[in-house]
Structure 1
Amino acid sequence: MTIATSSARETSGPDRPMQLDAAVIGAGVSGLYQLYLLREQGLSVRAFDTASDVGGTWYWNRYPGARFDSEGYIYQYLFSEELYKDWSWSEKFPAQPEIERWLHYVTERLDLRKDIQFDTTITQARFDEATGRWRIETDRGQAIDARFLITCCGMLSAPLRDMFPGQDTFEGEIFHTARWPKTPVDVSGKRVGVIGIGATGIQVVQTIAGAAGHLSVFVRTPQYVLPMKNPAYTSADQEAYKAKFHDLATRLPHTFSGFEYDFENGAWAEKTPQERVEILESVWQDGSLKLWLASFAEIFFDEGVSAEISEFVRGKMRAELKDPKLCAALLPTEYGFGTHRVPLERGFLQAFHRPNVSLVSVKDNPIAAVTPRGLRLADGTEVPLDILILATGFDAGTGALTRIDIRGRGGRSLKEEWGRDIRTTMGLQVHGYPNLFTTAAPLAPSAALCNMTTCLQQQAEWISRCIAYMRERNLHVIEADEAFQDEWVEHHDGIAAATLVTKTNSWYMGSNVEGKPRRLLSYIGGVGTYRQKCDEVAASGYSGFSLR
């Protein structure tokens, strides 16, 4: 059954809460699918989103150059062949406007809009131990009473915005890439500064370099980059990838990263030097993330292999940059390839050869403050700007939930607990918070190391089936056992510790947020392995969880 959305919105309040079987936070890729699955069970369910429309990440991140770095034909829902085949991508790595249109297409085809409330921020949620239900409040003074609370907030949805002293004094325009306005931002003839060259900063720089009057790129941590080859699709191309639907639906959930490709080249040690180079050249020429996620798995745990592949990538970048000063600033040397998020680029390296583009290294001369007219560095250098773009990243994995006041049994605070130690049970629940399910949360592949739709679909389906299991048996409350959560954290940490990823500083480890507990946010044991472990838990009648 569905609820009467208009009347529910008007009549619910602190003294008359909206009654739901399930409340979903978020209307992005996972939230839309979670809403669909629970509604198909006949539950009264409603999704809430701060945004004014669907899309999640692809609603907020509309900055210049925003696009997939997963191939469009795998970044899709795979539960319906008809839904899949009735949409056609125009190119291999589609841009944000097309992605947003696709999510509107899904929303309309599944008739989801009537059960989504936009322009609404969930501010707090408290578990009532007497009723076994969640009491949820919004920024509109609305109260919701729900049996289940399911967070589909996204793992990169809590932007780091107030980064530098003096931001509020800037007399020009200032934008964070994750809160980009819908109205166009005109950079033509302007002095523009971009802070950050992660995946987002790279897309912005390569897109606006030709239009800006002068572009200053503030670089602290250099990034390994791979080339993006993005051919336009003909109707024949579209039919070809659609013909692979059943193969993709079978394959994607079981690869290491949820992508179409996987580590199938054999062991590094078994190859001759010439064979290794040939494989690396082949995956480099693919123009995708294949070199990272489907060349040699040893890049994640063998320092010798990591060093050789890192130098291979640096060599490719060096050939593009040429200038020794650019190479010194933009070639990573302090960490290995693949231990950070690997961006794709189309003209980023070449942008620094433009006469109107300046590289400003802030590694040893950091940004001291934003001034009314630009940026001031630690040594007193002033960089005048008309527009400042913050590509400064996110409080990944945890930030979307810790910005909500979530209280579990005994009034325990999720923000406080994760402020001490980031722990979850398979990224699906947290001990002490009954009937709270999470997607894209820490300690699951969906926190970073996965083609997101592959992992988010799997988590939404697991949650939906768990709720169906409970309903069939007249059970009302489920909570992860502390002992099982401890086992999962130990398993997660054991695998993580064997990799080079934990030996670097990046947002993967929470290193970009001061005071954040250090732990690899994403499960690195592989998407297929994670799915198998989740399936085993379900098949056992949800052992490791207490149900009543």
Structure 2
Amino acid sequence: MSMDRKDKAQPDCDVVVVGSGFAGIYALWQARQRGFSVRGFERASDVGGTWYWNAYPGARCDVESYNYAFFFDNDIVRDWDWSDACAEQGEIQRYLRFVAERCDVLKDIAFDTKVLSAIYDEDTGLWSLRTSAGETVVCRYAVLAIGALSDPKAPDIEGVDDFAGEAYYTSSWPRDGSVDLRGKRVGVIGTGSSGVQAIPEVAKVASEVYVFQRTANYVTPVRSGPMDSNVVARLREDPQAVRRAFRESYGGHVPLEMGEERFVELDAAGREQALQRAWAGKYIELAFRDAHLPEANAAISDFIRQRMREQVDDPWTADHLVPWDHPYGGKRPCMSNVYLQTFNLPHVHLIALGETPIERIVAGGIRTTAETIPLDVIVYATGFDAISGPVFAMDIVGVGQRSMKDAWVDGPMNYLGTMVHGFPNLFLPSSALSPSVLSNMATLAEQQVDFIFDTIEWLDAHGRPGLHPLPESQEHWRAETLRFAERRPGALTTKSWYSGANVPGKPRVFMVYCGGFKRYNETCYGELEKGFPGYELLETPRRELRSR
């Protein structure tokens, strides 16, 4: 809609929230709880964010359900019963719908509506967001809860449009049940988390399955089945104590199990026993108290490789499914109890692209340097343009008409993972240089949204119209992110989507803060307690403290 200058000086609402996953739902609720007027926009037809779109067969979370959940409301914790220790996609999406209904935020969300642009007006200090419905909404604060894994990565393979068969993406799988793979020859490109989960399900019904693997990934056992009722009872006894404990931890959650001994204090026999216990208990990544040490990580990596090879009958296939080129954690590890064994089936074939790369996709299938493989269906499990991709999918323009794409031309720059210099009052939860994908995303959503709205309330209480980080704060934070990444085995030596290596031409910047959730939370609130010394506080008098 068109607006004259007078209209632009008045906001339609205090806050606009884009997205309705974990962070979006909680942000809408927080806005209402604190007395702000708010509107939400969601491009999907329902809440859930990534868990709405990732509806491919086998999709599930590999974090324990009772950790990967909200803890801000005691009744929500106590009233929702998870059916599995690590819930499948449909259950997680139903859970998020349950929370949205309980918090009464559905009325604030315009579904099937994409936000196309967000433009900052320096004269008024307001943001104008234009939607796919043709509406422009003006607000004081914009919260882009668009997630880290929401912008699908297009396959960088020649001939994608030439294929005459069916093609599907794990990142946007049809939800209407129309996909029928029974008796068909199916090629799956990609062996990250989505591929590892989907391939065993595809193999149950397809006549032939060809798995096109660029790089091998670690695959370890995942918890499954009902949760221990005693564990559930302890979590429900005092949810707020659990919430506080999560924020005091390294990863934003309290592991159900972990090793009791330190690698450096054990002899060879003791280390082997600890690794065996951890594998059986499905906590191999935390086999030792000091599992973060390079020497402990190397032992864990070697142990996982050995266990992986033992599950695959064919020596060539086993050898090619094992990740020899990076340590455990260098890439996003995968979890499955059935993936490796799937390759023992006679109709499942591994195509190692390191030896026989794809030349192009043709009408009848996929042509490699060795052969043309006839296919009826191609499944692209090629992942996402992670972390920065969702931000670039929107036209964001800040101070001096500078776009976010220009500000991040050399890779993401921000302070505390939530705000960017030159984009006042624009908040980016779950974005770059925050704990994001290396933490419990549910805990992170609560922590960042709390910090965002505590910041907004501070600004109102002190009569300030807004703030944005100082350039030197961003430089410091990027250096801190790099400093902690250097301590993480494989973080800076492995090609992964953590650093954008999966997208040709994308700047190689490690995008995840590895300093631990406790340190991150304390750094955020240290800024608030000291009056935001790392930010520029805007001086323009506020014309209106609330929307019309």
In structure 1, C-alpha distance between the alignment counterparts of 2:250 and 2:277, rounded to whole Å: 19
In structure 1, C-alpha distance between the alignment counterparts of 2:508 and 2:289, rounded to whole Å: 24
In structure 2, C-alpha distance between the alignment counterparts of 1:266 and 1:408, rounded to whole Å: 51
Contact 1:21-1:146 within 8 A present in 2 as well: yes
2:173: which partner in 1? 180
1:401-412 equivalences in 2 (<5 Å): 401-412=391-402
Equivalent position to 1:489, from 478, 482, 500: 478
1:3: which partner in 2? none
1:120-135 equivalences in 2 (<5 Å): 120-135=113-128
1:268 and 2:271 aligned: no
In structure 2, C-alpha distance between the alignment counterparts of 1:424 and 1:430, rounded to whole Å: 4
In structure 2, C-alpha distance between the alignment counterparts of 1:62 and 1:383, rounded to whole Å: 27
2:216: which partner in 1? 222
Same amino acid, percent of matched pairs: 35
Contact 2:259-2:274 within 8 A present in 1 as well: no
1:150: which partner in 2? 143
What per-residue deviation string (whole Å, max 9, x for no partner) do you get for residues 159-198 of structure 1?
1124322222222111110101112211111111111111
1:60: which partner in 2? 53
CA positional deviation for 1:497: 2.3
CA positional deviation for 1:264: 6.5
The amino acid of 1:196's aligned partner reads G
CA positional deviation for 1:248: 2.3
In structure 2, C-alpha distance between the alignment counterparts of 1:264 and 1:13, rounded to whole Å: 61
Contact 2:127-2:140 within 8 A present in 1 as well: yes
1:197 and 2:191 aligned: yes
What per-residue deviation string (whole Å, max 9, x for no partner) do you get for residues 396-421 of structure 1?
11000011111111011111222323
| Local SS of the residue matching 1:126 | strand
1:324 and 2:326 aligned: no
The amino acid of 1:132's aligned partner reads G
Cα RMSD over matched residues?
A: 1.9
1:476 and 2:468 aligned: no
| Local SS of the residue matching 2:327 | coil
1:89 and 2:82 aligned: yes
The amino acid of 1:285's aligned partner reads A
The amino acid of 1:479's aligned partner reads H
Cα 1:478/1:264, change in 2 over 3 Å = farther
1:165: which partner in 2? 158
Q: Where does structure 1 lack aligned partners over 5 or more consecutive residues? A: 1-11
2:454: which partner in 1? 465
In structure 1, C-alpha distance between the alignment counterparts of 2:66 and 2:268, rounded to whole Å: 34
| Local SS of the residue matching 1:178 | helix
| Local SS of the residue matching 2:205 | coil
- Which region of structure 1 is more displaced relative to structure 2, 454-463 or 367-376? 367-376
Equivalent position to 2:287, from 270, 278, 295: 295
Equivalent position to 1:419, from 409, 412, 424: 409
In structure 1, C-alpha distance between the alignment counterparts of 2:446 and 2:268, rounded to whole Å: 40
CA positional deviation for 1:129: 0.6
Contact 1:197-1:222 within 8 A present in 2 as well: yes
Equivalent position to 2:433, from 438, 443, 450: 443
The amino acid of 1:166's aligned partner reads G
In structure 2, C-alpha distance between the alignment counterparts of 1:112 and 1:374, rounded to whole Å: 46
Contact 2:249-2:518 within 8 A present in 1 as well: yes
| Local SS of the residue matching 2:367 | strand
Cα 1:147/1:161, change in 2 over 3 Å = same
TM-score by length of structure 2 reads 0.93
1:286 and 2:281 aligned: yes
1:377: which partner in 2? 368
The amino acid of 1:156's aligned partner reads L
In structure 1, C-alpha distance between the alignment counterparts of 2:439 and 2:230, rounded to whole Å: 28
1:323-342 equivalences in 2 (<5 Å): 323-342=314-333
Equivalent position to 2:510, from 498, 520, 525: 520
Equivalent position to 1:343, from 313, 324, 334: 334
In structure 2, C-alpha distance between the alignment counterparts of 1:316 and 1:499, rounded to whole Å: 23
What per-residue deviation string (whole Å, max 9, x for no partner) do you get for residues 56-97 of structure 1?
011000100111111111111111111111110011011111
Contact 2:435-2:517 within 8 A present in 1 as well: yes
In structure 1, C-alpha distance between the alignment counterparts of 2:2 and 2:90, rounded to whole Å: 36
The amino acid of 1:510's aligned partner reads G
| Local SS of the residue matching 2:12 | strand
- Which region of structure 1 is more displaced relative to structure 2, 70-79 or 272-281? 272-281
- Which region of structure 1 is more displaced relative to structure 2, 123-132 or 158-167? 158-167
What per-residue deviation string (whole Å, max 9, x for no partner) do you get for residues 438-461 of structure 1?
111111101x21011011110011
| Local SS of the residue matching 1:420 | coil
| Local SS of the residue matching 1:494 | helix
Contact 2:155-2:382 within 8 A present in 1 as well: no
1:21: which partner in 2? 14
CA positional deviation for 1:305: 3.2
Q: Where does structure 2 lack aligned partners over 5 or more consecutive residues? A: 539-548
| Local SS of the residue matching 1:460 | helix
2:380: which partner in 1? 390
TM-score by length of structure 1 reads 0.93
Contact 1:71-1:92 within 8 A present in 2 as well: yes
1:250: which partner in 2? 244
Cα 1:437/1:141, change in 2 over 3 Å = same
Cα 1:492/1:236, change in 2 over 3 Å = closer
How many correspondences in the alignment? 531
The amino acid of 1:490's aligned partner reads A
Contact 1:14-1:142 within 8 A present in 2 as well: no
What per-residue deviation string (whole Å, max 9, x for no partner) do you get for residues 474-513 of structure 1?
2111111111111111222122223331111111111111
Equivalent position to 1:453, from 430, 442, 458: 442
Cα 1:488/1:236, change in 2 over 3 Å = closer
Cα 1:14/1:67, change in 2 over 3 Å = farther
1:100-115 equivalences in 2 (<5 Å): 100-115=93-108
